[in-house]
């Protein structure tokens, strides 16, 4: 009766995930995967300026990208050389974030393995418009101080814009940001969640 007791994992987040390398998928992709997203007119100038950087960055992962100024769309697609099956999903997130006013430096972080992104819809959480604006402002705080402390504590980049909050960071951080944002919209002041995170930090 010698059954091994499985190891109890105290903190799953502390696990080091092994890197996925080109030799793990030597044959590359058979089919082309492709994603497109539209962007608003006011983003056109910025996207034109940084597009060569976007292309160069995506080329590192063997992802082809196109900017269509007539249609107002961005497209990413895999090439035969592309070896990472998940990178196209991350590339899709990059163009999605670029379209919603996230700067290039922040958006490309999503391509890293430990980073993800989340777009939190806050428009339908509060019915009353005035109340909505007040609570959204609470999230930003005086001179953006609340937002800054949320970013520091969760190690994420957070952009509050219109009816959505876009965030980029480690998965653990994204979870915390989502909780803070949703709680704030439900009238729980962000300072409580910030305090909790600070205590956990210590």
- For residue 70, give the 3-state DSSP assignment: coil
Nearest-10 crossing angle of helices 145-154, 171-185: 150
Residue by residue, pLDDT tens for the chain (202 residues) are 556 667 777 887 778 888 888 899 888 888 999 999 999 999 999 999 999 999 999 999 999 999 999 999 999 999 999 999 999 999 999 999 999 999 999 999 999 999 999 999 999 999 999 999 999 999 999 999 999 999 999 999 999 999 999 999 999 999 999 999 999 999 999 999 999 999 998 8
Sign of the CA dihedral running 162, 189, 124, 93: positive
Residue 2, pLDDT score: 56
Residue 3, pLDDT score: 65
Residue 44, pLDDT score: 97
């Amino acid at each position: 009766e010698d059954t091994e007791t499985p190891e109890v994992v105290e903190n799953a987040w502390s696990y080091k995930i092994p890197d996925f390398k080109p030799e793990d998928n030597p044959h590359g992709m058979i089919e082309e995967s492709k994603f497109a997203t539209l962007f608003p007119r006011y983003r056109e100038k910025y996207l034109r300026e940084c597009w060569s950087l976007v292309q160069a960055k995506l080329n590192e992962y063997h992802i082809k990208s196109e900017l269509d100024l007539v249609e107002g769309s961005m497209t990413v697609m895999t090439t035969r050389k592309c070896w990472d099956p998940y990178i196209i999903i991350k590339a899709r997130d990059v163009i999605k974030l670029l379209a919603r006013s996230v700067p290039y430096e922040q958006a490309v972080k999503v391509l890293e393995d430990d980073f993800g992104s989340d777009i939190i819809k806050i428009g339908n959480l509060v019915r009353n418009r005035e109340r909505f604006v007040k609570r959204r402002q609470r999230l930003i705080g005086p001179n953006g101080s609340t937002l800054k402390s949320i970013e520091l504590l969760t190690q994420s980049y957070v952009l509050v814009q219109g009816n959505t909050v876009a965030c980029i960071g480690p998965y653990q951080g994204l979870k915390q940001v989502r909780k803070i944002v949703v709680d704030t919209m439900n009238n729980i002041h962000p300072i409580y969640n910030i305090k909790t995170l600070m205590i956990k930090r210590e």
